[in-house]
Chains A and B, each alone.
Chain A
Amino acid sequence: MFTFTPQNLQKIEALKSRYPSPNALALPLLWMVQEQEGTISLEAMEAAAPFCDLPPIELYRIATFYTMFKLAPTGRHHIQLCKTLSCALCGKAEILAHLQERLGIGVGEMTPDGRFSLEQVECLGSCGTAPVMQINDVNFENLTPKKIDEILKALS
């Protein structure tokens, strides 16, 4: 059974007073679920729905619309490499090849030990420091194969 932590329940109450309608809490609630559980389960959507006064299907529709919401588990270190134009112009392909070789997985896959998963994403808004990737919430910019090695080493 999914339940929000007491801290999150407090946060929800505080947030409610900041919006004209509880519906506005849909995205904040899904973020809380994801931060609490790692992924967003159907059960959690059902449990969260009353807090924003929406039917569960609406939360499901939202969760499948916004790409950052995770409905399936990812690795502990979820690597999201930007694939859009500025990064592509600045050597994204080389970085991707290097990541795949080092991790031994392809795009959309997870290492067998569950530590890393790799995904390509659209523009991360860091075009001036291309190529970039995000590991969980942290940005890594101006990537080079050497830098990738250092980052992966630090995470091992």
Chain B
Amino acid sequence: MIEIFVNDQSLHVNEGVLLIEALIQNRIDIPYFCYHEALGMDGNCRMCMVGIEGQKRPQIACDTIVKAGMRVHTTGERIEDVRRRILELELVNHPVDCPICDQAGECKLQDFYMDYGLYDSAVSKGEKVHGAKHVDLGANVMLDQERCVLCARCTRFTCNITKTHELGIIGRGDHARISTMPGRKLSNPYAMNVVDLCPVGALTSKDFRFAQRVWFLSSTPSVCHSCAKGCNIFIDHNAPKYQKERIYRFRPRRNDAVNGHFICDAGRLSYKSLNDHRLTCNNPDAMDRAKALIQAAHNIALLVDANLYCEQLDALVAFAQRIGAQLYCPNQCYYDEGFGDEWLRRPWRAANLAHINTLGITQSTPSEAHDLIISFNHPDLSSLTCKHKIAFSTHEGVEADVVLALRSWAEEAGTLINITA
């Protein structure tokens, strides 16, 4: 650890880190477009200007390594003036139409304008360089070239992270723009991360755009259930007037031990199944009928879904003992070899298989000797034959003697054990 001084405040930071990292980690305001913790520095936006004592000119914090005793200023008339003027140039060819832009509310350009700009923009009067407004890049990603600030985050993502090389900056000078190779599409299982990476409204999700203003959304931290990896996410949800609570999108939530800054597109879009065809209420006599079936049964199988939380599974173990049932979690329905990859996607497509293993629950199909199966949301219930079935389910469409509504994982709190390998 070394000591540096930012705005005369002493900070202890790791040796060798970039100044911008030190500032971000210590929650010191610094504007930037091109730097990203997962992508590193690029030095093109020139927004992260700071004053460093002993240096004649303002320096960009993303291209500065911290040095012991370094004295840095992130505020002050001179620095703010430089930032204000660079920001003004950013707006030369950027439409000033935040009210109709889908990024409004989570746009860095808008934020920095509120922080540093607030001028009568003399630059907007001139003829702007026009670009294509609605380019369907593929993979649910829409590009508005005019809103782009050419920070190159998206191109660095496809170049350095996914190494799929779909996106690039083409052209030159103020006619430079983001593009795919004409005739080719953005297509990789992680493509939609570019929407989160884009600091402005240039890349938007076809799935989310214009669905909801972001300031109406509440974000709840959660964990994706799309596979065993356990990528950390935010669930962005809202209850529109006179409607039920709906989930509008999943976004990656940073966890360096699991998923870093990213999630896969399949996981990202898996929110949809939590909104539709939900089972929300029970028949008034459902509980009584279930009770009767349990009491009448001689040999009960209790089927549990590997997406249930540890607490739920533990409770079900106790319940099984109480009613003398045998526990099962047939696992073949969770295995999807084609889904797995070297990065975030695991072939086991359930969130809590590790705990199923720990509990020693049988992972094969129940024997035919059972005269009653009670399923807790197991996806494969329909393929099993049994005299009687009771289904606790989050969704409609389950065939059983008695069907009872279950809350979805997004509506419950609990613990999951992921499989990172």
Contact = CB atoms under 8 A, between A and B. Distances in A.
Direct contact of A and B (CB under 8 A): yes
Contacts of A64: 170-172
B181 A56 contact: yes
Given A64-B170, A65-B171, A42 B165 contact: no
B195 interface: no
Contacts of A45: 181
A57 B171 contact: no
Given A55-B165, A57-B165, A42 B170 contact: no
Contacts of A65: 170-172
A55 B171 CA distance: 17
A115 to B, nearest CB: 28
B166 A57 contact: yes
B187 interface: no
A64 B171 CA distance: 5
A121 to B, nearest CB: 14
A57 B166 CA distance: 7
A58 interface: yes
B321 to A, nearest CB: 58
A18 interface: no
B171 A60 contact: no
What interface size band does chain A fall in? 10 to 19
A153 interface: no
A18 B91 CA distance: 45
A61 B180 CA distance: 10
- Category for how many chain B residues contact A: 10 to 19
Given A64-B172, A65-B172, A57 B167 contact: yes
B160 to A, nearest CB: 12
Nearest to B158: A57
Contacts of A58: 165, 168
A61 B165 contact: no
B182 A61 contact: no
Contacts of B183: 42
Nearest to B164: A55
Contacts of B171: 64-65
Interface in B177-191: 179-184
A60 B165 contact: no
Nearest to A71: B182
A52 B184 CA distance: 20
Contacts of A57: 165-168, 180-181, 184
Q: With a 10 A CB-CB cut-off, give which of B169, B181, B183 has the most chain A CB atoms.
A: B181
B131 to A, nearest CB: 14
B158 to A, nearest CB: 8
A102 B226 CA distance: 69
Interface in B120-178: 165-172
Contact of A61 (B166, B168, B184): B168
B181 A42 contact: yes
A56 B172 CA distance: 18
A151 to B, nearest CB: 30
A64 B181 CA distance: 11
B186 to A, nearest CB: 11
Contact of B170 (A46, A55, A60): A60
Nearest to A57: B168
Query: Of residues B166, B168, B183, which shows the largest number of chain A Cβ atoms within 10 Å of its Cβ?
Result: B168
B347 to A, nearest CB: 28
Contacts of B181: 42, 45-46, 56-57, 60
Nearest to A42: B182
Interface string A58-101: 10110011010000000000000000000000000000000000
A67 B171 CA distance: 9
A56 B181 CA distance: 7
Interface in B319-345: none
Contacts of B165: 55-58
A57 B171 CA distance: 12
Nearest to B172: A65
A60 B182 CA distance: 9
Nearest to B177: A64
A30 to B, nearest CB: 14
B172 A60 contact: no
A54 to B, nearest CB: 9
Nearest to A46: B181
A13 to B, nearest CB: 25
Of A46, A55, A56, chain B has the most CB atoms within 10 Å of the CB of A55
Interface string A121-145: 0000000000000000000000000
Interface string A21-47: 000000000000000000000100110
Given A58-B165, A61-B169, 8 more contacts: A45-B181, A46-B181, A55-B165, A57-B184, A58-B168, A60-B179, A61-B168, A65-B170
25 contacts: A42-B181, A42-B182, A42-B183, A45-B181, A46-B181, A55-B165, A56-B165, A56-B181, A56-B184, A57-B165, A57-B167, A57-B168, A57-B181, A57-B184, A58-B165, A58-B168, A60-B168, A60-B170, A61-B168, A61-B169, A61-B170, A64-B172, A65-B170, A65-B171, A65-B172
Interface of A: 42, 45-46, 55-58, 60-61, 64-65, 67
Interface of B: 165-172, 179-184
